[in-house]
Structure 1
């Protein structure tokens, strides 16, 4: 029987009880009413979208492995079991203007950056709209999907963080994992706990501000490495836009010169941060 390489031989399961205990002891203990950890599922996002039809609470689902994980534009998101954090959060946003819902994945990106900086000790930044980078390489991705059911708007936000993947296991060459980045902490339970607490803190502040985006937008811009960069944006319909990313507007759109990009794949043409 072949022996696994040393860095993949021991990937412990996520400690669900420790995770719940850490959340219960935080300042936002009541934010998530339910946190479930499963060994495997098709897609944590799909599972919570289905749950939204009968649930009005905020809940979390984490899978040790996903068989049909997906990212933006229906791209697949794959990883060896227990090598990443694959979690989804179902949240309700009562009274929000539907036009402001697009800020939720950006808020999640801010929370992810802050959690990884604080807990893993890495220099994480954002690439518009919500990819998390370390040294110009993607360590985490975010996918938000509107769910049906309930009196208040519901959104499921999925987050995938590469934790212990080796170079050979990375899905694409421009990806990276916390382990490869030399993170001070790669305990998935602690990283997931930090991410959930930071998300709850950011979400609560946004909700308490009646969904105003001023403070959130400032926090996002401070963490967004895309701003000031030469970029190439591939827009829906095949259009290409290049130029300097000059800002993020009040709707969360990326400004390339005076042109506002609301959706598309953005490439940094210079990575000197």
Structure 2
């Protein structure tokens, strides 16, 4: 259930999306609350956003406001509140990126709830591509996220199969990929949730804010992500190289794992990955099993 204070924060964001600076009293009147209450709530928001009060004015740093980005070749749609960016993307044109500050019905793989608290980056990319790129997307996207975190933020991230991004065994980002045929191509909906300046509620999760001990302008991460997304088809032309990169970043490789699938539970050692993302594990007596991400509900490292 969304709290009253969160609703007020979303009203504030809705105003600041289009106008990054407001006189505090004017904004209080526009959203219908006392100036003192607005000041308290904005000060609380500054724990998760680059928002400040200076000389009676509320200012949102443009580098933290996705609406200020104008990526070439993309339509960026930024909303304070959505049910889900995945669902919103279905009504958008190809090469759209949907960004929400808060989602009421965010979901991960197999319908698991995704907690999209304020200060994170919750987004869906809608792209039109060929079947080869579509088949490799489940391993390309985790590579992109790990590269951004390592090279641009100095964070030693890795991949937990199939596509959770982890730091110190805690989840910092998740991915949900859905698709549908469109003539002779594939429409992909690539949902990506990244814990940036939010305070994730679960004990096995972490954010950039927790790691760096400071707030990070989210537009830098989003810009880097959009840049990589624009090169997806080029990346897919080198499937063996992509597979090698995925294996390099895969924390699950050579680990003992417990896997829950449609057929039941398996225990084995993760020994290889196909270039379309299936994990190969070695079970008793050297027998090898191929795990499809779509039929795998849970994987845990148990060594």
TM-based fold match above 0.5: yes
Equivalent residue of 1:181, what SS? helix
Q: Does 1:101 align with 2:142?
A: no
Q: Normalized against structure 1, the TM-score is what?
A: 0.81
Deviation at residue 105 of structure 1 after TM alignment: 2.3
Equivalent residue of 2:225, what SS? helix
Pick one of 233, 242, 259 that aligns with 1:204: 233
In 1, Cα distance between the equivalents of 2:48 and 2:122? 20
Q: Does 1:223 align with 2:249?
A: yes
Q: Which residue of 1 aligns with 2:122?
A: 86
Deviation at residue 108 of structure 1 after TM alignment: 0.8
**Counterparts in 2 of 1:185 and 1:147: CA distance versus 1, 3 Å:** farther
Q: What are the equivalent positions in structure 2 for 1:222-241 lying under 5 Å apart? A: 222-237=248-263, 239-241=264-266
Q: Which residue of 2 aligns with 1:164?
A: 197
Is the 1:226–1:245 Cα contact (8 Å) retained in structure 2? yes
Pick one of 289, 293, 296 that aligns with 1:259: 289
| Aligned residues between the structures | 245
Give ranges in structure 2 of 5+ residues lacking alignment: 1-36, 52-59, 283-287
Q: Which residue of 2 aligns with 1:129?
A: 162
Deviation at residue 144 of structure 1 after TM alignment: 0.4
Q: Which residue of 1 aligns with 2:79?
A: 38
Q: Which residue of 2 aligns with 1:147?
A: 180
Q: Which residue of 1 aligns with 2:269?
A: 244
Is the 2:82–2:102 Cα contact (8 Å) retained in structure 1? yes
Is the 2:138–2:177 Cα contact (8 Å) retained in structure 1? yes
Q: Which residue of 2 aligns with 1:29?
A: none
Deviation at residue 118 of structure 1 after TM alignment: 2.1
Pick one of 57, 60, 85 that aligns with 2:97: 60
Q: Which residue of 1 aligns with 2:224?
A: 194
Deviation at residue 79 of structure 1 after TM alignment: 2.7
Q: Deviations over 1:184-235 (max 9, x none)?
A: 772111111112212323x03235x2xx522211111111111011111111
Is the 1:84–1:161 Cα contact (8 Å) retained in structure 2? yes
RCO greater where, 1 or 2, for CA within 8 Å and sep 6 or more? 1
Pick one of 160, 169, 175 that aligns with 2:205: 175
Q: Which residue of 1 aligns with 2:151?
A: 118
Is the 1:142–1:158 Cα contact (8 Å) retained in structure 2? yes
In 2, Cα distance between the equivalents of 1:183 and 1:254? 35
Q: Which residue of 2 aligns with 1:19?
A: 69
Q: Normalized against structure 2, the TM-score is what?
A: 0.73
Deviation at residue 253 of structure 1 after TM alignment: 0.8
RMSD of aligned residue pairs (Cα, Å)? 2.4
In 2, Cα distance between the equivalents of 1:9 and 1:111? 24
Q: Which residue of 1 aligns with 2:28?
A: none
In 1, Cα distance between the equivalents of 2:82 and 2:67? 20
**Higher helix share goes to which structure?**
2
Largest Rg, 1 or 2: 2
Deviation at residue 8 of structure 1 after TM alignment: 2.2
Equivalent residue of 1:221, what SS? helix
